[in-house]
Amino acid sequence: MPQVFLSTEHDPRLVALAIATSLWAAIVSIALFKRCLATQGRPRLIWLGLSAVSGGYGIWTTHVIALLASDSPAAAADDLGLMLLTLAVAVLATGAGLWIALSNGRTQIQLRQQKLLLDTAIENMPQALCMFDAEGCITLFNARYAAMIGIPATTLLGMSLRDQLKRLQGLGEFAEDPDQFSATVMAEMRGGHPAIREITAAGRVLRVTEQPLPGHGWVATLEDVTEWREAQEQIAHLALHDPLTQLPNRAKFRHDLERVLNNALPVSRIAVLYLDLDHFKDINDTFGHSIGDALLNEVSQRLVHCVRSGDTVARLGGDEFAIVQVSTDAHAPAALAARIVRVIAAPYTIQGNHVVVGASVGIALSPGDGTAPDELLMKADTALYSAKAEGRGTYRFYEAGMKAHTLTRRVTDKELRKALLQVGIAQNQSIHDDMVA
């Protein structure tokens, strides 16, 4: 093969032309390839082919001009086959390079599209999301997380969990110890133990779910459960409180009484006061149930003001109320009962109506009258019935002989009501017979 470039001299003008041609071909090839990347479908292949041809043409033209620049035209003619082969190889090589670049471009586009979809999904999650590395520093978070904890997004990236909690603590929005809390979380995550916990931050109740990641990092999702927690508390309140007066109901009263009995000191005297209103039915019949309900609310407020902060006042149903009093004073139950009778008897003004009602109270004491909630309630009820039988507007302590007397009286009352009902039926039947006759 002739050693053209090694043994001959070259025309400087043609050499400069070869350089300029190669640069122009490279620029055109790159521009065509960019157009290829910006195009979808079949036109992309056309732009790719033009880019490959442009690159190969530049290489071939540079080689031809370099040969022409030689002072040996015969050698240039002999190398025509070599030039054609060079052109073919250049076109193939350029095309292969551009095809690889195009494939990489497609991969990059797909990765960008997947990242966009992932970012969109993260930003539209109903929960706040945050990823931490092994040192407890943030590596990824969504806008909902920044908004939920009240820290600007521009300062969050790279901030440690401990620093976040210290910042919230400084604002009075986090009551726990940031050092201990963050150390506990990191220890659980390094141990590979998922965790679900509830924290209060920025005045909201947040449910935090933490899942360990490889490398001792973790991902945390936060959900604001403030409204749900309030709803649960409201449901629990309704289950244990009277909806009219908001006092504890019978179930909660019994639970509180049992707790008091179990925790009572040996020197404590526990009194159960059972009371109802005298002639309350007459109030409903005279003024209507709305006045009756308002009266029950007024009575409940007066009862609450009669007792100490540690005592329990409950509405058991209808016009029946109960109180648990814990004291070391033997005279305290009688003093409380007398105060209740006096306070309840004071006149009421309800919706412009002057209302007067009385109260009767029955009292059972523990441990003398029993140590079980149901037993004490039953005996206090028996004492209440005795107080009502003796003229109402007073109070009575349970006594051993009351039960038999009360049962006898209740049976007598029941028989009297039954007899009166039968007389009424007989009279109605007689009137009906007379009308038919």
Q: What are the tens digits of pLDDT across the range 25-73?
A: 667 767 766 666 666 655 666 666 666 666 666 666 666 666 665 555 5
Retrieve residue 135's tokens: 């040192």
Cβ atoms of 402 and 383 closer than 8 Å: yes
Domain 244-399 is classified in which CATH homologous superfamily? Reverse transcriptase/Diguanylate cyclase domain (3.30.70.270)
Same CATH fold assignment for domains 128-229 and 244-399: no
Measured CA to CA, the distance from residue 188 to residue 190 in angstroms comes to: 6
The residue extents of the domains of the chain are 4-121, 128-229, 244-399
What is the amino acid identity at position 110?
Answer: Q
How many CA atoms are closer than 13 Å to the CA of 384, on its beta-carbon side? Answer: 22
Q: What is the pTM of this model?
A: 0.58
Q: String of b and e for 384-401 (b: at least 16 CB within 10 Å)?
A: bbbbbbeeebbbbbbeee
The residue among 400, 327, 319, 333 whose CA lies nearest residue 362 is: 333
- SS percent in the chain: helix, strand, coil, step 5: 60, 20, 20
Three-point CA angle 139, 140, 142, nearest 5°: 155
CATH of 128-229, one of 3.30.360.10, 3.30.450.20, 3.40.50.300, 3.30.420.40: 3.30.450.20
Peptide bond into 367 cis (omega under 30): yes
Given this model, what pLDDT does residue 153 score?
Answer: 84
Measured CA to CA, the distance from residue 300 to residue 314 in angstroms comes to: 8
Measured CA to CA, the distance from residue 58 to residue 29 in angstroms comes to: 9
Given this model, what pLDDT does residue 174 score?
Answer: 87
Given this model, what pLDDT does residue 140 score?
Answer: 87
Beta carbons within 8 Å of 300's beta carbon, 6+ residues apart: 245, 246, 247, 313, 315, 321
Question: Residue 313: in which H helix or E strand, if any?
Answer: strand 312-317
Number of H helices and E strands in the chain, helices first, is 16, 12
The low-confidence residues of the chain, meaning pLDDT below 70, are: 1-26, 29, 32-126, 403-437
